[in-house]
Amino acid sequence: MSRPRVLSGVQPTGALHLGNWLGAIRNWVELQESHETFFCVVDLHAITTPHNPGKLASETLSTAALYMACGIDPSKSTIFVQSHIPAHSELCWILNCVTPLNWLERMIQFKEKAIKQGDNVSVGLLDYPVLMAADILLYDADFVPVGEDQKQHLELARNIAQQRINSRFKEVEKDLLKIPKPMIIKNGSRVMSLSDGLKKMSKSDDNDNSRINLLDPPELICKKIKRAKTDSYIGLEFGNPLRPEAENLLGMYAILSGKSNAVAQQECLEMGWGKFKPLLNDAATSALKPIQEKYKELMENRDHLNLVLKNGRIKAEQTAQKNLTRIRNALGFLPEK
């Protein structure tokens, strides 16, 4: 029997941070053992806000290396670059033509990012979730492991597939598109900023001290944790709505040290911030050390990285092309002869 299929991706914009790892990539690593897994570096998404052409290629390669450094194994998973497979853009166009504009205008991430862009909002930024739907639907993915913030985009992909494609074209082919399900990890699905426990940790925050990047050296991690926002209570605890920073940093500590929430809370229940922060620092530094070492090693062998991405492209393209042809035929395009 074939294994259920998983697809996910991260944008190669800036450095990946603890949120990306704990909320998404960490989950991918386990799924490799039980699922057929496709992981792409979504570089076409990275140009939906102004980007630096001098950095796009190197950030794409470095994101792929980080996937592998975090434990994505090219002998188990297909790792590829979104823009290397034109079928993503082509299916995006087809889906654009059936997606109501007001579905996109409702997207929270669009509204948040659009505010930051001022007058300069591109059509691409609005269309971002349709391209994401194309990424997923092109591979008949059963599951999409992402952080909490992507849930609304997943819901949109499901609605496009169900209401705008499957029900409209059911006479031609039943269940033309597979309806994907989100897969959201219980702990870590929403890692918050170090400078504000109510704001998501994000690559796009202008303040680098608000996040721990996976490649930050130990001194920098230490500095960022020292500066992290605290409160005036003594003792770390979960579940107190007045203490978002305690919730976030204690949660981070639990995952990074491999302890359950209950054990971590028990350990830190009477601990002041001054004693807790060095603990968190040790946990973060030791968890990131093997990733940083593996990353360095991978980046020293670009030929190998490029080969992994080439093999990934060849494999992903077979599935993508087959499905795109099926969709084109169902929609009535003149077949190529």
- Where in the sequence numbering do the catalytic residues fall? 113, 200, 203
Radius of gyration, alpha carbons of the chain? 21
- The reply on whether position 214 binds ligand TRP by CB under 6 A is no
Given a contact cutoff of 8 angstroms between Cβ atoms, the answer to whether 52 and 95 are in contact is no
The CB-side HSE value for 273 (13 A sphere, CA atoms) comes to: 14
**Would you count residue 144 as binding ligand TRP (CB under 6 A)?**
yes
Q: Please list, in sequence order, all residues whose beta carbon lies within 8 angstroms of the beta carbon of residue 49, skipping any fewer than 6 positions away.
A: 13, 113, 117, 122, 125, 204
**Which amino acid type is present at position 196?**
D
* Residue 191 found at the interface with ligand TRP (CB under 6 A): no
* In the block, residue with structure tokens 């909002």: 121
Give me the amino acid identity at 5: R
The yes or no reply on residue 147 touching ligand ADP (CB under 6 A) is yes
Which one of residues 189, 265, 285, 323 is an interface residue with ligand ADP (CB under 6 A)? Answer: 189
Closer by beta carbon to ligand TRP, 9 or else 188: 9
- Structure tokens of 43? 């570089």
Interatomic CA distance for residues 204 and 224, integer angstroms: 17
Residue 203 interacts with, from ligand TRP, ligand ADP, none (CB under 5-8 Å by kind): ligand ADP
Give the whole-angstrom CA distance, residue 134 versus residue 332.
Answer: 19
The answer to whether 78 contacts ligand ADP (rule: CB under 6 A) is: no
160 binds ligand ADP, rule: CB under 6 A: no
For residue 304, what are the CA distances in angstroms to 42, 63, 68, 74, 118?
20, 14, 12, 11, 41
Nearer to ligand ADP, 10 or 246 (CB): 10
Choose between 117 and 260: whose C-beta lies nearer to ligand TRP: 117
Contact 210, 27 (CB under 8 A): no
| Shortest distance (Å) from residue 66 CB to ligand ADP | 11
Q: How far is the CB of 128 from ligand TRP (least distance, A)?
A: 7
Question: How far, in Å, CA of 156 to CA of 232, rounded?
Answer: 41
The answer to whether the beta carbons of residues 245 and 230 sit under 8 Å apart is yes
Q: Which stretch binds ligand ADP (CB under 6 A): 55-63, 131-139, 202-210, 222-230?
A: 202-210
Selected binder of ligand TRP within 63, 150, 265, 285 (CB under 6 A): 150
CA geometry: angle at 132 spanning 130 and 48, to 5°? 80
Binding span for ligand ADP by CB under 6 A among 70-78, 186-194, 308-316, 324-332: 186-194
Distance CA 337, CA 330 (A): 16
Q: Which of 22, 146, 212, 246 binds ligand TRP (CB under 6 A)?
A: 146
Residue 228 binding ligand TRP, by CB under 6 A: no
Q: How far apart are CA 180 and CA 285, in angstroms?
A: 36
- 305 binding ligand TRP? (CB under 6 A): no
- Candidate ranges 16-24, 112-120, 172-180, 256-264; the one touching ligand ADP (CB under 6 A): 16-24
Q: Residue 144 touches which of ligand ADP, ligand TRP, none (CB < 5 to 8 A by kind)?
A: ligand TRP
Question: For binding to ligand TRP (CB under 6 A), which residues are involved?
Answer: 7-11, 42, 45, 132, 135-136, 144, 146, 150, 153
Question: For binding to ligand ADP (CB under 6 A), which residues are involved?
Answer: 10-11, 19-20, 23-24, 146-147, 149-150, 189-191, 200-204
